[in-house]
Structures are given as structure tokens and as C-alpha cells.
Chain A
């Protein structure tokens, strides 16, 4: 079942080519179908009354006045929904000690963050439901608030969930080698405190779900903007007591996800519970203000870290103490301990060094829950590692490229196991660095920097090497007991006219999944990509699979598609061989025709084969298999995770009077294994970089000491816009994984992983002659001026 990737002139060579996305045409014409575009007969709208307090007892809810609003049909409280919906507990057994209390779809007798749903108002329109919601009177008795991360475990701090005993959700210490003694004796030790701000995904399409319940069939149908329709099917079935076979989750066009839409949200489950009670379609579309308080947040980390190096710049040891606060609950079912855990797994990633200690401490607080968001943990680990490496280089008077070259794993050394116990099958740090330096013309850029400095203009170059974890096996969630599928499946069938339909468990969120699958299936079967109709996002028809997260779509979903396509090819050729009285191995399928493999001479169009199989089966030999449909599932088994690698560079200018940073250009060379569609990979990288740049320069959720979110609007929570973003040069090295025939590893998060560190290092490169350094993201104008000592009060 091999594909001769080395031969670009092979027949049906669609893998590796830029092929247009089949779904782009309808999206540019406004013909997409997002959840809010769907309207069903008898549909009603739900709006949630949300807690105004970060922590309060709910003494009573008076909905009488709200019920009198024209259009308002029903009002639900947490206890109403508890009758039809069981609570969940978001822990994973392999994250030892992780704890979190049961969580209901709406608060029962206590609210634990500003924005937690407390009551639900159902009305004939969203506007009427909002009119009702403002009239629901909730009697709150405020409780003490846990708002600060670093004091969450202090004895004087109140315990958020008394039954948990303390505010510690999870802690993990990993230690390898003799870290302490190395730090005592090392040539140089550099330490720093890093902070990454609270972010949120700000998907342009808000969270959206429309759930219908048909009691006469016992059938639930959920139109849901999600990355994991099968996971949602399982969750809704389990907690609303419906067989999985009777829950259909349909995920049409999704307006951006980035990890935000892979979680179980209380208000979304509440919507399903209400649909089950009211036996009619219920729509919930989060508005933008509630998006900021209820979409998951991420990356609220503070890290003390230090590095020990010898006189030659060899890294001797790394010591990382990471703290993160996850809000009031661990998020179901992936849990909120993963980002901290990833920091432990990923720090030091590109480098070959012996002594490593990393600890993460994950605490509860009265804020919006945090969970997995694009590049989970990576931007933190890369910033800590690359920041320290640059600081060490500066201490040694060494070029930042040189210190990396001296420490990165050699390209011919794989497989290796890192000090964090991560197993790397094959990476290309040195090749990637070579390519980066060539693309950016490093020496010329240094000359430009020096020339600018002569004019009093402060420019900086920042480099950041990174690894990215992709293609997770059940070691990520499944072994911990979560019903999150690491495998994925694809069904490929040939219709009578010879056209191909492929149904996949991975989903399209705009990254080009359907294009990627169409190329693989086209090559696997032997037809044009335009002749492959790809169907994703419908649990009633697609094979059970994990969906789209952790950059697994191409690596897992793509491999399943390739295997099912090759299996269908074999089925077609078996029939063709019989019809043509030929040896099966002498035949091939190219551009929709059965051909002679040797000469390429056309023997029969697939359309004719389809006509015979479907309508004149009487003419075929008895006993000839005639299934022109094949399903294959794929799961990785050799490695717990695939790893990709890459290196980024940022060139920027700092206005040292105002603190404004202007991004001049950005480069990324990455190795995602087999590239299926170069354009789609490039644009994943670019989009990912810009999301990382947002974290570096703009994005920060602010809370006050009472747990009130202070900047919950698009005008106040800043994300990257076109004017401030640089052009980005993207290059590739291809080191396919040997675990699959396809060899793809995934490219969705590499950009986000490395960009913040590259910017941080570039800013510090610019500021170093002025004796300043920044390590707290985002690097706002004010933080830069404070680092420069310009503002002191």
C-alpha cells in the first residue's frame, strides 16, 4: 500500500500539490451554512442569565416578571435541568491527583465565576429572551473570591470548593538528572520570571448550538459548531440519557475554532437539556459579550525558570517552576491540567541536555475556566526555553544562532528520548535553522540592525526553535478514562457514475480538511480531486472519530482516508480484473479510468464499472465481492505523540519613547512531515503565527480583585488586525513519520507555538544595549517603557 511520494510524476499525484478547497467557493459567495444560519420549525431561542458575581450563594431566583414578557415561554433554573441532565467531573486518571468537583449545566445553589449560567430564558426570539433575562431577579449572597494565582494555596486564602480540601487542582513534578548540583557548579546560570496573559480564542463565529429533540422517535439532533462531533454525541448521550445511536451531531460550516470549540460548555449542554424538556428545537448563539466571559480562557501562567550553561554554551540543566490558574472548574472532558502538563513536557524541547526539572502547579480561582486553546502549552514552553537560551547567549557573548546550533539534537541522532521523556521519531532542527538563515539572510539583517542603531533606531532580531506535539495516541486522554477518540475513520465509496464520496470523522474548521482529504482520496483511488465529494461533521454518516484537535486531521484522518481509498481501489480493481479477464495487479486506476498499469492504456471508465456492478450484477461471476465501499480506521501505536519541529524569526522595531513595537517581518521554517497541500500548510502556519503574535503583543484578559472581567469586548480585548501584522516568509523541511503510509504529522499549531518567543527575543535583542528586558506578555507599550525605566511610578 505504498505511495511513491519520491516520484512527482507518478500517476494521480495529488498529494503534495496545491489543490483548491472544494468548500471555498460557497464561502466566498455567502452560501456557507453556520449554525445560526439554520432555522427550524417551532424553533425557540435561549438566553442565559449569568452570574454577576465571581463567587456567590444563590438564595433565590424570581422569574415572575420575566415570564410576563411577550414572547417568553419558559424559564429554567439549575435544579430544573438537573432533573434531566447528570453532572460531570473533569479529571483524568493518568494525571495523578487531578481533582475537580461535579459541574452541572447551570449553577445549582452557588455561582463560581462571572458569566456562569444561573437561569435560562426561552422565548420566540433572541430579543424577547434578552428582554426576559434582564427581568430575572437572582438573590445573591456574595462569598469570598479567590482571584490571585500565586496566593491561591496560602492558608489565608479561602478554599473555593471546600469539599476539595484546598485550591490545588493538580501538581506534577518531573525530575531527571542532578539539577541542583549542576546549578551550583555551572559556568553560568541565568534565571528569569515569565508571564503569559490570560487569552481567549475570539472565534469570529460565536459558540453556537441548535438542538432538536423528537420524543416520538427518541432522537436528538444537535447542529453544533464543534471540532469533535462524535465526542459531543457521546457526551450528550451519556448526560441526557439517550443511546448514542439516537444522538446525531451535525457540524456544518464552523466559523473558527482554534481549540475553543472542542470543549463541553455548560450552556450548550443546558440547551440540549432544555430541548429535551420542551421537545422542540432550541437555539443558543453566544453573543460577543458572553463569549468573553464563557468561552474557555487559556495561558494564565507565571513561570520562574533558570538555565545552566558551560563556557562553550552547552546547556547543562533547566529548572522550570510553572504556575497556572484554571478558573473554578476543570473543563470537561479534556480537563484543565493539560496546559500545565504540556509545559512540563515541552520545555527544553529542541535541545540535547542532561538535567531537567519541571513542576507545574494548577490552582482553582473564581474566574472563567481555562482549557486547551491552539498550541496548548507550547507558546509558554517555547518562550521560557528560548528566552533563557537567548539570555544565556548574551551572558556568554555568543550569537543566538550559535548557541542553538551547539545544543539542538543532531538531525541524524533519532530516535531519541528527551529529558522530559518525550520520544522523538525524527526531527530536523539543524536543517530548519539552515533554511531559516538563508531565507531571512541573517547576516544582512544584522547589518541592517547595526546601521539602524547608528541612526538611533532600535531594531531586534529574535529566533525561536520549537517542537510541536501532534497526532496524539490514547496516551493523551483515553488512558485517563476520557471518552475522547484518538483513532479516526474514513468511509470511501464509489457511486454508479464513478464519482467518489468520502466520509471522514475529522472535521472542517476552515483549515482545509476537506481539500486535504479530497487529494488523498483522489490519489488513493485514482480519480480527480474534483471528483471526490468529502463529507465531514455528521455523526450519523461518518465513521466514529476524534475530530479535529492537536493537529491530528491530516496525520490521523488523512491516513484513514488513504487506507480506505486504497482499499476501495483494490475492490474496484478486483471487479475490473474479472470484467476485463485481466490480472488485477496489471491494472491501475488513473483519472477515473481503469488502465493498463504498464502502458497507461485506458481499459474501462469507472462509470461503466459502476453501471455493471450496481445495475447488471447478473453479468458478474457469482461470489465476486462487489462492495464498492470501504472503511478504514487508523490509530497511531508506535509513539504516544508525533512531534514536528521548526524555527521562527522576528524582525521588529521598538519605539523607545512610546514603547510601540512595529513588526517588520516574520519567518518560519517548519517540518510537519509529509505536506499534502503546500498552500494550506503555509496558510496554517501564517494564521498560527498571527495568533501567536496576538499573544505576544496584544491579547490579555484583565480581572479585578473581585473576579470581575474588565475588558470583555472586542474594543477592549485586542487581537491582531491587518495593519499591524507583518508579511511572513514560510519554508519547509519534510521529515515524514514512518508510522503511517502518508507520513503527515500536522501543521496547525507550529505558528502559534514559536511566534511569541521570537517576538520576545527580538524585543530583548533591540533593548539589550539599553539594559532592558521584557518577559511578561503581552509586551505592551507600557511594559516596554517600564522595562526601560522611563516610567517608574
Chain B
């Protein structure tokens, strides 16, 4: 299990990183925290990559308060997100998610941008960002662009990021004081990928529900959201089970996942109401 990398270069800043990517002739691979990429390289699931190590670019790290939104640098580490007071106050869902992600040593190096760009449908941050309605900021050869999170995840491990682009930051709306954010998971062991996970955000403007581990991408459960907006929990559970199309694997069947999604929604609603009360 020894990686076969094509080459390595350390980017000093964002523009250097863009140059490196441009010069990699399509073999470039952005290396941030490396907690998924290096594992894949060791297993030779990814070979001959020209690694562009962006992990030292300090401008891409940190959480800032932009008034209506929070801006999270793509290189902000999981452990930093979990401990950040702005996150704890305005995006408690993300702080909650950190405690579910793998284990301490992984959280010490893994970055939120890496987690989103990797687009693992079983990971917490992609689903959380869907529930929060995040905007992603991307730097490419032609400058910066923004993508709404709903348009970002394309397929299994596939996003709308182009090969020569780098995800630089994420902005999320700050939670209002009466907003409820709940993350619930069923996992067989602490830190495992969840068999199913569900995020519920209750805002004055309506409900947002997203799921992880129920398909090839994180899923926004629009029908269930609509039912919850109507105040119909049973209808939301039924709609949710109807609108997701989970896969079966060695850990659980699609039927199990579909069933649990409904259970988690009920529990999340109960918890949110509890939080309100």
C-alpha cells in the first residue's frame, strides 16, 4: 500500500497554486488536509497525481463574521470549526458535525474545503452545507466565481469544480436566534461513516432537511421540507422515504436506510421542538 505520486509542489499562495494547477496538464490534484486523498493514494485508487499542496496557504483558513453571513476559509480544519465561537453561535450544526467526523487525529488535519470538494455522500459537512444553504467560492484561471451548494454536488465524489479550480471559501447565512439546527446519525461505531444521517434546519423562512449516506450525493429532501412547512410531520416522513433512493451495501440495505431516515426525521423534529420549548 505505497502511494505512487507523479510529483509534488507546495503552493506559497493562492495565485501560485493556480499556476501550479495550470501547469499540471490535467494531472493536478489539490492536496489540502489529505485525510481522504492520501488514503486513496496509499490504496492506489489515485495514482500519478501531480500534487498541489495548498495546506500552507494561510489566507484560506479561518472563520470571519461578514455581517449577514459567516465566511469559512476552505482550509479551516475540522478541529478549528468545532472550537470556533462564531461557528458555535451561528452555525451550531457544523460544530455538532465535527464531533461525528472520524476521530481526533483526523479532525486535526482534515479541512472543510477538502471535505466538500471530495464530495463523499457519507460525509457530514456536505450534507450540513446543503441544509444550511451555503455558497461556495471558487477560484479559477479566469478569476473567482460562486456556486450555490444545491448546484455543487454532481455525483459520487463529483462536483462542479473544474480541474483547474480551487475551492477557497464557503459562506453560510448566520443562524437567527430562534433558528434550530439538528444533526442526527445512526452509526455503528463512534466516528464511522453513518448508515444514515439527517440535518434539520428550522428557520423562520421554512425547514431545510438534508441527508447523508442515502445516495451518490448528499440529498436535499425538498418534498419532506414542503410537508414540514405545512406542519405535517407524518407527511414529511412519508415524503422523505419516498423521495430518497438509498443504496445497499455491506453495512445496511436500502430498506434499512429508508426506514431510518424517517426515524431520524421524527427524532430531529422532536429535538427541534424540544429546543424551542
Q: Write out the residue numbers on chain B whose beta carbons fall within 8 Å of the beta carbon of A780.
A: 188, 251-252
Q: Write out the residue numbers on chain A whose beta carbons fall within 8 Å of the beta carbon of B195.
A: 781
CB of A601 within 8 Å of the partner chain = no
Known contacts: A130-B2, A791-B259. The answer to whether A782 contacts B253 by CB under 8 A is yes
Cα–Cα distance between A793 and B263 once the two chains are bound (Å): 17
Known contacts: A126-B2, A134-B44, A288-B1. The answer to whether A791 contacts B256 by CB under 8 A is yes
Considering the complex, give the chain A residue whose CB is closest to the CB of B39.
A715
Cα–Cα distance between A134 and B186 once the two chains are bound (Å): 38
- Residue contact B255 to A793, C-beta cutoff 8 Å: yes
Considering the complex, give the chain A residue whose CB is closest to the CB of B195.
A781
CB of A711 within 8 Å of the partner chain = yes
Known contacts: A723-B189, A785-B259. The answer to whether A131 contacts B250 by CB under 8 A is no
Q: Write out the residue numbers on chain B whose beta carbons fall within 8 Å of the beta carbon of A289.
A: 1, 43
- Residue contact B190 to A791, C-beta cutoff 8 Å: no
Q: Write out the residue numbers on chain B whose beta carbons fall within 8 Å of the beta carbon of A723.
A: 189-191
- Residue contact B255 to A702, C-beta cutoff 8 Å: no
Distance to closest chain A CB from B186 (angstroms): 5
Cα–Cα distance between A791 and B258 once the two chains are bound (Å): 10
Chain A residues within 8 Å of B, Cβ to Cβ = 125-127, 130-131, 134, 287-289, 657-660, 698, 700, 702, 710-711, 713, 715-716, 718, 721, 723-724, 780-782, 785, 790-793
Q: Write out the residue numbers on chain A whose beta carbons fall within 8 Å of the beta carbon of B252.
A: 780-782
Main secondary structure of the interface of B (DSSP, over half): loop
- Residue contact B189 to A658, C-beta cutoff 8 Å: no
Q: Write out the residue numbers on chain A whose beta carbons fall within 8 Å of the beta carbon of B2.
A: 125-127, 130
Q: In chain B, residues 169-195, which have Cβ atoms closer than 8 Å to a Cβ of chain A?
A: 186, 188-193, 195
Q: In chain B, residues 1-19, which have Cβ atoms closer than 8 Å to a Cβ of chain A?
A: 1-2, 4
Distance to closest chain B CB from A225 (angstroms): 18
Cα–Cα distance between A702 and B44 once the two chains are bound (Å): 22
6 tightest Cβ-Cβ pairs between the two chains A and B: A723-B190, A127-B2, A287-B1, A782-B256, A702-B250, A711-B250
Cα–Cα distance between A544 and B44 once the two chains are bound (Å): 43
Cα–Cα distance between A658 and B194 once the two chains are bound (Å): 12
Considering the complex, give the chain B residue whose CB is closest to the CB of A792.
B255
Q: Write out the residue numbers on chain B whose beta carbons fall within 8 Å of the beta carbon of A127.
A: 2, 4
Cα–Cα distance between A131 and B48 once the two chains are bound (Å): 11
Q: Write out the residue numbers on chain A whose beta carbons fall within 8 Å of the beta carbon of B38.
A: none
Given contacts A130-B44, A780-B251, 16 further A-B contacts (CB under 8 A): A130-B1, A130-B2, A288-B1, A289-B43, A658-B186, A698-B188, A702-B250, A710-B250, A711-B250, A715-B193, A716-B251, A721-B189, A724-B189, A781-B186, A791-B253, A791-B255
Distance to closest chain B CB from A554 (angstroms): 33
- Residue contact A790 to B188, C-beta cutoff 8 Å: no
Distance to closest chain A CB from B184 (angstroms): 10
Cα–Cα distance between A780 and B257 once the two chains are bound (Å): 13
Cα–Cα distance between A561 and B49 once the two chains are bound (Å): 57
Cα–Cα distance between A790 and B251 once the two chains are bound (Å): 17
Q: Write out the residue numbers on chain A whose beta carbons fall within 8 Å of the beta carbon of B263.
A: 657-658
Cα–Cα distance between A127 and B47 once the two chains are bound (Å): 13
- Residue contact A790 to B190, C-beta cutoff 8 Å: no
Q: Write out the residue numbers on chain B whose beta carbons fall within 8 Å of the beta carbon of A724.
A: 189-190
CB of B260 within 8 Å of the partner chain = yes
Cα–Cα distance between A746 and B123 once the two chains are bound (Å): 45
Known contacts: A721-B189, A724-B189, A781-B186. The answer to whether A790 contacts B44 by CB under 8 A is no
